[in-house]
Amino acid sequence: MPTNDSLSIDCAPIEGGYSRLIVSGAAGSGSEGNIHGQQIRHAIRDLIGRENPPGIVVDCRKLEYRFGNYMGGALLGKGFPRQRMCVLAQGETLRCLRSLWGVSGLNALIPVFDDESEAVEYVSRDIE
């Protein structure tokens, strides 16, 4: 899979004050993807600093991801306030993320969904 130094990352509002972080492009595998994990972490941090949404859907449906712990680290960035967050993915990216999430136990903290309405419903729930 070809990779480059940067992914395309955009933000879009979700009704109710929530946000969608749209990540697209080809992510590196293993340590080659660390720079991509850093990009995602910085984008989340910037979004929180600008808008402080109560929930964020990290939309990876246009991301080509195969392997790398950096994806979990990007979403568990130090200093993130307690926003409710989840990942939305499809195809091979979904399969690979679910594999990583299953091994690491991340699903309990940041679930992965393949259905947009379920992802939006999750981030819009009150944090208990």
Summarised one tens digit per residue, pLDDT across range 6-44 is 799 999 999 999 999 999 999 988 888 889 999 999 999
Its domain, for residue 34, covers 8-124
pLDDT at 1 over 50: no
Secondary structure of the chain as H, E, C letters: CCCCCCCEEEEEEECCCEEEEEEEEECCCHHHHHHHHHHHHHHHHHHHHHHCCCEEEEEEEEEECCCCCHHHHHHCCCCCCCCEEEEECCHHHHHHHHHHHHHHCHHHCCCEECCHHHHHHHHHCCCC
Residue 79 resides in a domain = yes
More confident residue, 75 or 50: 50
pTM of the model as a whole: 0.90
Residue 1 resides in a domain = no
> Any idea what the CATH number is for the domain that residue 50 is in?
3.30.750.24
Residue 2 resides in a domain = no
Residue 52 resides in a domain = yes
Summarised one tens digit per residue, pLDDT across range 67-120 is 888 888 888 866 666 789 999 999 999 999 999 888 888 888 899 999 999 999
Residue 77 resides in a domain = yes
Question: How confident is the model at residue 127, as a pLDDT?
Answer: 60
Residue 3 resides in a domain = no
Residue 74 resides in a domain = yes
Question: How confident is the model at residue 3, as a pLDDT?
Answer: 41
Q: What is the mean pLDDT of residues 46-62?
A: 94
Question: How confident is the model at residue 2, as a pLDDT?
Answer: 40
Quote the number of domains for the chain: 1
Question: How confident is the model at residue 58, as a pLDDT?
Answer: 97
